[in-house]
Amino acid sequence: MTGVEDKKSVYEVNGNKITKQIRFLSVRFSSFDLKIDFYRSVFLVQPATVPIRSPKMVKSTLRVDKLDDISQEWFDSDILIFNSGHWWTQGCYFQVGKLLKLGMPITAGFRTALKTWASWVETMVNTNRTSVFFRTFESSHWSGRNRNSCKVTQHPWSSSWGKDQSTISDIIIKIVRKMKVSVTILHVTPMISFRSNGHVGTRSNNPSVPDCSHWCLPGVPDMWNEILLNLLPMDQVSLK
């Protein structure tokens, strides 16, 4: 947005900042006939009402067999870029139909949700028109090396050398490879594991609290964008 000379030609379509209630942000670059939409769907699947007579420990559930309702806004885009995984942590309870799956592990819930997403792409998205991408993410949330520390230094990790893995990223790759339509995986996990700043650290308004959600410094995420731009079909990124 800051790189456009005519600042009045760039504007937010709905004028609202994105929140947990307002899950949609749209920015229009009118000079280029371009609109970029961001949808906050952290699980991709649909949050559900807790079934009656569920144990008291169950405060919320996810319908891993049903895609988020906001997906009705996605299918006719020129380019779709998905990512998920950070929020799949302890405390999630999963639901298939009206059946609560108390014993379903997080990885199984994520795998089921990704299969639901894959089925939606195969049936709802015209991949001859729409380019679909799914990006993995840094491994450090599941890595013993960095689980309790978000330390950022100027040097590469001498121990990992790109060998770190993420179970969640592995699931993404396996599901996408079995799909009947073309989806490009932006597999950034091994690339980021070379970098000590490949995981966000104490770079927030409160430096005493590790900020594991927000990238406030240039670097690694910018490279994700460079890779994406180089993968886009040239007729979709050419300027008019």
Predicted confidence (pLDDT) per residue in 155-185, tens digit: 555 555 556 678 889 999 999 999 999 999 9
173 in Cβ contact with 185 (< 8 Å): yes
- For Cα atoms 182, 188, 194, give the angle at the middle one, nearest 5 degrees: 155
Amino acid at 76: D
Indicate whether 15 and 128 sit together in one domain.
no
Indicate whether 220 and 141 sit together in one domain.
yes
Establish if 160 belongs to a structural domain.
Answer: yes
The tally of domains found in the chain comes to 2
Q: pLDDT tens digits for 221-239?
A: 788 889 999 998 766 554 4
Question: What separation in angstroms does the CA of 31 have from each of 79, 114, 240?
Answer: 19, 37, 9
Indicate whether 36 and 150 sit together in one domain.
no
Indicate whether 29 and 114 sit together in one domain.
no
Establish if 166 belongs to a structural domain.
Answer: yes
Q: d(Cα 206, Cα 134) in Å, to the nearest integer?
A: 32
Establish if 88 belongs to a structural domain.
Answer: no
Indicate whether 112 and 230 sit together in one domain.
yes
Indicate whether 30 and 144 sit together in one domain.
no
Report pLDDT for 208: 64
Indicate whether 29 and 137 sit together in one domain.
no
Could you tell me whether strands 184-186 and 131-135 are parallel, antiparallel, or unpaired per DSSP bridges?
A: parallel
Indicate whether 117 and 36 sit together in one domain.
no
Q: Which two tokens stand for residue 219?
A: 């670097």
**Among 73-87, 141-155, 171-185, 208-222, the least confident range:** 141-155
Establish if 45 belongs to a structural domain.
Answer: no
Indicate whether 112 and 206 sit together in one domain.
yes
Establish if 92 belongs to a structural domain.
Answer: no
Establish if 60 belongs to a structural domain.
Answer: no
Q: d(Cα 194, Cα 158) in Å, to the nearest integer?
A: 8
Q: d(Cα 33, Cα 96) in Å, to the nearest integer?
A: 41
Indicate whether 34 and 153 sit together in one domain.
no
Residue numbers of the domain that contains 9: 1-40
Indicate whether 120 and 223 sit together in one domain.
yes
Establish if 73 belongs to a structural domain.
Answer: no
Report pLDDT for 157: 55
Give the alpha-carbon dihedral of 94, 213, 80, 191, to 10 degrees: -110
Closest CA to 34 of 75, 74, 1: 1
Closest CA to 129 of 79, 183, 72, 180: 79
DSSP strands (E only) in the chain: 10-12, 24-29, 34-39, 45-48, 61-67, 79-82, 94-96, 99-101, 131-135, 184-186
User: Which residues lie across from 118 on neighbouring strands?
Assistant: none
Q: pLDDT tens digits for 11-67?
A: 888 765 666 567 888 899 999 899 999 999 989 999 998 888 899 899 889 999 999
Indicate whether 118 and 216 sit together in one domain.
yes
